[in-house]
Amino acid sequence: MRLTRLVPALASVLAATAAAAAGAGDAAPQATFLSPEQLATAGGESYTYQSDIARLMRVVVSHLYHDRDVFVRELLSNANDALEKVRLIALTDPSILEPAEQLNVTVLADKDSGRIVIRDSGVGMSKEQLAANLGTIARSGTSEFLENLEKGDGGNLIGQFGLGFYSSFLVADRVTVASKTADDTEQWVFESEANADGFKIVKDPRGPTLGRGTEITLYLKPDAADEYLDLPKLRYLIQKHAEYNAAPIYLWSSASLDPSVNAVPVVEAEDDEIKVEDEATAVEQPQWDLVNDRPPLWMRDSKDVTEEEYENFYMKTFDSPDAPLAWAHFKGDAGTTSFRALVYIPSALPNDFYSKDYISLNSLKLFVKRVFITSDLGPNYLERHMNWIKVFIDVDDLPLNVGRDSLQKTKALAQIKKNLQKRVYDLFAQIASQDPSKYAELYEKAGVALKVGAVEDAKNRDRIVKLLRFTTSAQENSTSLDEVVARRKQGQTQIYYIAGAGQKKDSLEKSPFVERILARGYEVLYFTDPIDEMVINSVPTYGGLRFQDVAKDGVKFGDEDDDEKKEEEDLKSTFAPLVGYLKKELAEFVDKVTISTRLTTSPCLVTAGTYGYSGNMERLLAAQNQGSDNFMLNFARMQKKNFELNPKHPLIERLLEKVDEAGDDEDALAELKESVSVLWQTALLKSSYQVPDPNSYFSLVESMLRKSLGVSQTAQAEVDVKPAPPVETGPPPSEPPPPPSFDEDFLAKDEALRHEQEEAEEAFEKASEHKWVDWSSVKEKIGEGIKDTVKAAVPDLDTDVPNAPVHEEL
């Protein structure tokens, strides 16, 4: 007989050795819970709660049940404050540290007793302080706080901050608070229950076990025990709310010892021999785990933080595989308080950033004295174009026991918002100035967001527009507007642009609108993003120059002389008959017919009025709403256009001659009308507009092709269409099952093969009970079965192979 047992003594030795090696700070906590019987026999004094306290405890339990997690933050925040007080006192009186030199917070979850113990080595409280601090509530903000809770508006409170110690009763039926100050020889215990009207304070029957500090024991409600005694959940809550606390926070947990390092001998007993083998067996060893192991970078001096530290902090905090493109680390004043901030610009812009707010993108974290408060300061705290930028704000002081709406209106947060925006824009400008190649990379990701900002953020528009970049005819790389202004020609008063959403630069360069402008050497901006035209509509001028859409009326060069003006007047006189004819023929669509000064090689083009819609804008309106009730699109298409003619183009010259030659000849007039219709609609398309009736336009083009190729207008294609069969009268056929795939077919045959093998083995076993059978025949039967199955599944496979040899012993 063989027995295998883990030797408990050896495991205990290992655990004790490891704890000793780790130091006194890792020693196992003593389970010295106070029982109700102990407190009852300890005597003490009973007190009645102040009226506001009793009222607060009632509404806390009834109104904030669904946000019970906040008790972790509230209690850890109190512990952190107590430790900060010790630190300050120790600067002038180091003796305060003697009772407990280690400044930390420990959290113990005891599943067996259903309790959580939070202990700190802070300043502690005397008997009188326990009664004053836990039995009464500060008057500042109390009324509004309680009114919000009783109205059911607890969800609007900033994380329900301000509950303090009383948040314990969200999860606990009974709470004890043991505390001791450095100069008091006695340790005192505060005890209360969730529905009690008062509390009790007794001398701790355990004696002064704390040295200095406070120990809060939560006797969890049954429905809270399973949730909050779960170590992963408890660790998550500590990290969420107190990850950046100044004091270290330890959680009592267990970790497996590495079996390769500490192998536990296993005793084996077999017959009369005792044998010890070094089998590697993992041992669960309890230990104190440091939970908040990431110091807040924003609390350090920026000069002392390395680039690698900034990047690692960002990637770990936001679980990002990529380092940020840039960051800003600064501090400032906000009214009566001060703050520190750390701003990160991610390496990529979320595809759906425009449809979300910063809250859903987890972009902002507000702390007060390193304690996390909220990620939600209202949907408009970070503008939509900045909602993807990651921001940490740590404020020295804020009124937190008020509603979220009230907090948003505080001067401090308003000032911080202004400061944040300015710092972000300054960061962009700094990169653009110092590292243009890096800014080009950044702008490729964030350019659309900045353009959204230029449209929506009127207060910061001037600052944002300086950061924008546009495709230009002047160079291969994009350009800033400052550079465009610097390259202006003498007498130039306009910045020329052409909009073509989704089009490339080489396509827009061939547009008839820019022919003469480019030929003369003027610079043109190419607006290839759908939002570009909206940006310019928000910023009509820049650097003293007015933006001019070359697809509209009003293009001026600023260097026209008298000779050019005289030539223009002469051309108008010469082409007056054609202009008059076109105005009459196209009166439904055209407001003006003019002799163009902007064309070189194209015969004509269609432009919008100064306040009309360009072809690009009409396309954008159509893309936004495909329905027939698109008022803006219908209004835009109803607006009459301008028809510009190139007087030096052969087609226009011949058209003038046709008008003179037609006279009253009906055939000539019909042909002229057809030519004008084709010319007008083709110009619409080339000018980025849609033709009113595409089918009618294509019929006109076909008619002209027939004339050009000598094809009769009445000749039609021979049509031989096979008619569909008659309507089916019977019921619809049932769908046949789909043919099995190769995998399904092969698995089915493989299953059949296994079944045959099992049958053969059973037959062999039965036969072997009586007498040996001819094994070769059994083997041959199995082999043939395998061949047949495999050949059926894979017909092309050569199965004519010899059977495997049988073991000689068989």
Helix (H, G, I), strand (E, B) or coil at 323: coil
pLDDT at residue 44, as a whole number: 80
404 in a known ligand binding site: yes
pLDDT at residue 299, as a whole number: 86
pLDDT at 141 over 50: no
| Structural domain includes residue 284 | no
Q: Note the pLDDT tens digit of each residue in 782-809.
A: 556 555 554 555 555 454 444 333 333 3
pLDDT at residue 761, as a whole number: 67
Helix (H, G, I), strand (E, B) or coil at 325: coil
143 and 234, same structural domain? Answer: yes
CATH number at residue 212: 3.30.565.10
Domain boundary among 380, 407, 431: 431
Q: What percent of the chain has pLDDT over 90?
A: 30
| Structural domain includes residue 698 | yes
335 and 319, same structural domain? Answer: yes
612 in a known ligand binding site: no
125 in a known ligand binding site: yes
pLDDT at residue 408, as a whole number: 60
| Structural domain includes residue 494 | no
pLDDT tier, 229 (very low <50, low <70, confident <90, very high otherwise): very high
Cα distance between residue 604 and residue 684, in whole Å = 10
773 and 628, same structural domain? Answer: no
Number of structural domains found in the chain: 5
353 in a known ligand binding site: no
| Structural domain includes residue 306 | yes
Domain boundary among 412, 431, 450: 431
120 in a known ligand binding site: yes
Domain span holding position 378: 297-431
CA dihedral sign of residues 204, 208, 209, 211: positive
Residue 178 φ then ψ, to 5° = -95, 135
Mean pLDDT, the chain, rounded, equals 79
| Structural domain includes residue 548 | no
267 and 246, same structural domain? Answer: no
232 and 124, same structural domain? Answer: yes
Pull the structure tokens for residue 756: 């045959």
| Structural domain includes residue 524 | no
Distance of CA 791 to the CA centre of its chain: 55
pLDDT tier, 737 (very low <50, low <70, confident <90, very high otherwise): low
196 and 216, same structural domain? Answer: yes
Q: In this structure, are residues 326 and 342 in contact, taking their beta carbons and an 8 Å threshold?
A: no
Span 115-143, average pLDDT: 79
77 and 15, same structural domain? Answer: no
User: C-alpha angle with apex 50: 49 to 52, nearest 5 degrees?
Assistant: 115
165 in a known ligand binding site: yes
8-state DSSP, 797:
S
Q: Note the pLDDT tens digit of each residue in 436-485.
A: 999 998 898 889 889 999 998 999 999 999 999 999 999 999 999 999 99
Q: Note the pLDDT tens digit of each residue in 23-75.
A: 334 444 444 667 777 777 777 888 887 766 666 667 666 655 567 888 898 89
74 in a known ligand binding site: yes
Nearest CA to 117 out of 244, 245, 210 is that of 210
330 in a known ligand binding site: no
Q: Which residues, 6+ apart, have CB-to-CB distance to 142 below 8 Å?
A: 52, 401
214 in a known ligand binding site: yes
Whole-prediction pTM: 0.62
693 and 584, same structural domain? Answer: yes
| Structural domain includes residue 689 | yes
699 and 609, same structural domain? Answer: yes
CA distances 19 to 15, 211, 251, 258, 263, Å, are 6, 21, 15, 15, 17
322 and 272, same structural domain? Answer: no
| Structural domain includes residue 25 | no
Cα distance between residue 358 and residue 655, in whole Å = 60
DSSP string, 123-154: S---HHHHHHHHHS--STTHHHHHHHHHTT-G
CATH number at residue 613: 1.20.120.790
Q: Note the pLDDT tens digit of each residue in 310-360.
A: 998 898 888 888 899 899 999 998 878 899 999 999 888 877 777 777 777
647 and 584, same structural domain? Answer: yes
User: Which of residues 262 and 168 earns the better pLDDT score?
Assistant: 168
272 and 248, same structural domain? Answer: no
pLDDT at 183 over 60: yes
78 in a known ligand binding site: yes
Q: Strands, DSSP E only, in 264-400?
A: 266-270, 273-277, 284-290, 326-334, 337-345, 364-368, 371-374, 390-395
CATH number at residue 344: 3.30.230.80
Nearest CA to 321 out of 360, 347, 343, 298 is that of 347
pLDDT at residue 204, as a whole number: 92
Q: Note the pLDDT tens digit of each residue in 739-797.
A: 655 555 556 666 776 777 777 667 656 655 544 445 455 456 555 655 555 455 555 54
